[in-house]
Structure 1
Amino acid sequence: MFFDLFLNVCAPIFFVVGLGWLLDRKFRLHLETLVKLNIYLLVPAFIFTRVLDTELGGQEALQIVGFTLATIALMFIGSTIAARVLKMHAQQRQALRLATMFYNCGNYGLPLVTLAFGHEGAAVQVYVLATMNVATFTIGLFLAQERGEKPGAHWRALNGMLRQPTLYALVAGVLAKSTGLRLQEVTWLWQPLDLLQAALVGFALLTLGVQMSQTRPAPFRAPLFAALGIRLILSPLLALGLTQIMGFPPAVAASLVLATGAPTAVNTALLAHEFGGDVSFATSSVYYTTLVSMLTTTVTLSLLKLWLAA
């Protein structure tokens, strides 16, 4: 089962990531443009269409939001304990918290869950993605600027969050669904949105490959091992227990747990850069967790499939 899942789920992901890496090495692609196409076009289209198509009710959506926030809180506690044990200085402690609390549920988590569990799993991730984006630029923003040295930087970052269309796409989708609007029948509107959302998975993975190509990681040290262990191993273990406490159905629980084992979110490195944090640690966490996740997500998925079968 392990090798079958690796070949059918994880290998396709890293194959496309590898293509992005190779294309960047050959042509030096403009990363900022790729990221903006993801954030401002493909992700909002995906969220809007999936909210309208999903059969998840309002109560289930609120549960998923609560689960995501609870996961972030548990990672904060875990990283704080690890930082004290390893006697990290303030900048490393800040970077470890950001690297473990916020995971890449967009470029990585969405394709992973979609390939593993289909569109039903992807529908669950819509609410995770929206919650994670908002939390990164509110909770993460507060943690990042706690010791920041650039005056007014937190206002610039907060304004940047308010300009992100992800939240507005979610709100628009929820309003349209709650009022009974059948936008799926408006062909001239729905077809372009459907084409854009279908492009998200492949384009997001290519963008991740370009990001990997343009990252210069630092050497491995104890804090990085802590980031990898907490983000890739401890996070899905705690998430599994949390899904049982909150009473999620097995299929929804499996999607949520698998995504919590995703690597560190790229936005955490951007926050560290903006607020004078440990940029080397932050970018290295993104780089190494992405590489190691090729193994850990395959193991996690194998165990989840066995759990579902049982």
Structure 2
Amino acid sequence: MTILLHILWNNVLPLSVMVAIGVILQRAFSLDIRTLSKLNFYLFSPSIIFDLLYTTDISGQLVARVLMFFAVFMALQYAVVELAVRGLGLNSGMRSAMRNSVLFYNSANYGIPLNQLAFAGNPYTLSIQVLIMMMQALVPNTYGVYSVNAHKSNFRNIMRQIMTMPIIYVIPLAFALRGFSVELPGFIMTPIGYLSDAFIGTALITLGVQLGSMKWQLGGKLLKLVLTSNALRLAVGPLLAALVVWLLGIDGLMGAALIVSSAVPTSLSSVLLAVEFDNEPEFSSQAVFMSTLLSVVTVTVVIYLLQIQG
């Protein structure tokens, strides 16, 4: 019960307040959601990724093991969601939206504080979470952009769009600067810090603006699809992560951190992609919102079971 209340009070309620602010602002001023989306994609998201990678001490061996886990986990997760979308007989646009709602999870503004809570601020588990967050920033900006455009654009145009995403340049730049011990001056790092701090608030307000501008459907096919997405993300996700950890022989603190990292709700990236490229924004917004609410229970169960096993 203590863990549940802690997650509710420190994770879900703050997120909900920010989302509510976005809803209120949208109802009052009819904000331009595409402008908010572009700010997240091209400015705030790259800034927080650079800031964390540049300032976090991460060893090469840790990078290799986490990336191996991530590759196998994402492959299995993709296979499961592909079976689901084909079984449901979805059209191309909804297929990509469903895939994104399961494959892209909230490893930043939910995953990092959750990691700090579950592992009492352990710097080792935090570095694992930062690497997962890095990959969860890279994949939506590459595969995610491709998936929401594949059914309505040609490969060359999609690749041209992907190459405009700053995140694919920010990640190697951050690693290179840290690897060669290049110390950036304050007049550069201070603005990066400001932009990094702005990411979470702006992304959550963007979600609220999208929720506030759409007509909710509380039943029917859309609700079924949202709940299917939530089940694949919140229940099947951690189970697959546990399987991968076992297959790769990862145990102890690393194994637990990787499983916890997989248990978080759907990422705001799926909403930003849906809005930016006009691909099922109502489904994507509801999937994020519902999975965040349901995660209060599912994440608590995951943490509890890991404690039992430990």
Q: Determine if the TM-score, normalized by the shorter chain, exceeds 0.5.
A: yes
**Equivalent of 2:67, from 65, 68, 87?**
65
Q: Does the Cα contact within 8 Å between 1:100 and 1:230 map onto a contact in 2? A: yes
Deviations 1:49-75 (A, max 9, x none): 211221211232233233223222112
User: Do the aligned partners of residues 35 and 300 (structure 1) sit closer, same or farther apart at CA in structure 2, a change above 3 Å counting?
Assistant: farther
Partner of 1:210: 209
Q: Distance in 1 between matches of 2:195 and 2:149?
A: 35
User: Do the aligned partners of residues 191 and 293 (structure 1) sit closer, same or farther apart at CA in structure 2, a change above 3 Å counting?
Assistant: same
Partner of 1:167: 168
Gapped runs of 5+ residues in structure 2? none
Partner of 1:257: 259
Q: Does the Cα contact within 8 Å between 2:238 and 2:260 map onto a contact in 1? A: yes
Q: Does the Cα contact within 8 Å between 1:243 and 1:253 map onto a contact in 2? A: yes
Instruction: List aligned pairs for 1:1-40, cutoff 5 A.
Output: 1=2, 2-40=4-42
User: Do the aligned partners of residues 49 and 80 (structure 1) sit closer, same or farther apart at CA in structure 2, a change above 3 Å counting?
Assistant: closer
Shift of 1:168: 1.2
Q: Distance in 2 between matches of 1:235 and 1:241?
A: 10
Q: Distance in 2 between matches of 1:279 and 1:35?
A: 12
Shift of 1:36: 2.3
Q: Distance in 1 between matches of 2:282 and 2:17?
A: 26
Partner of 1:74: 76
TM-score normalised by the chain length of structure 1: 0.78
User: Do the aligned partners of residues 182 and 18 (structure 1) sit closer, same or farther apart at CA in structure 2, a change above 3 Å counting?
Assistant: same
Shift of 1:138: 4.5
Partner of 1:158: 159
Q: Does the Cα contact within 8 Å between 2:77 and 2:237 map onto a contact in 1? A: yes
Shift of 1:32: 2.0
Paired residues, what number? 302
User: Do the aligned partners of residues 263 and 9 (structure 1) sit closer, same or farther apart at CA in structure 2, a change above 3 Å counting?
Assistant: closer
Q: Distance in 2 between matches of 1:278 and 1:191?
A: 37
Shift of 1:166: 1.2
Partner of 1:132: 136
**Equivalent of 1:43, from 42, 45, 52?**
45
Which letter does structure 1 place at the counterpart of 2:37? V
TM-score normalised by the chain length of structure 2: 0.78
1:24 aligns to what SS in structure 2?
A: helix
User: Do the aligned partners of residues 98 and 195 (structure 1) sit closer, same or farther apart at CA in structure 2, a change above 3 Å counting?
Assistant: closer
Of 246-255 and 210-219, deviating more is 246-255
Gapped runs of 5+ residues in structure 1? none
Q: Distance in 2 between matches of 1:257 and 1:9?
A: 18
Q: Does the Cα contact within 8 Å between 2:53 and 2:175 map onto a contact in 1? A: yes
Shift of 1:173: 0.7
Structure 1 vs Structure 2 CA RMSD: 3.5
Shift of 1:172: 0.7
Which letter does structure 1 place at the counterpart of 2:82? T
Which letter does structure 2 place at the counterpart of 1:102? F
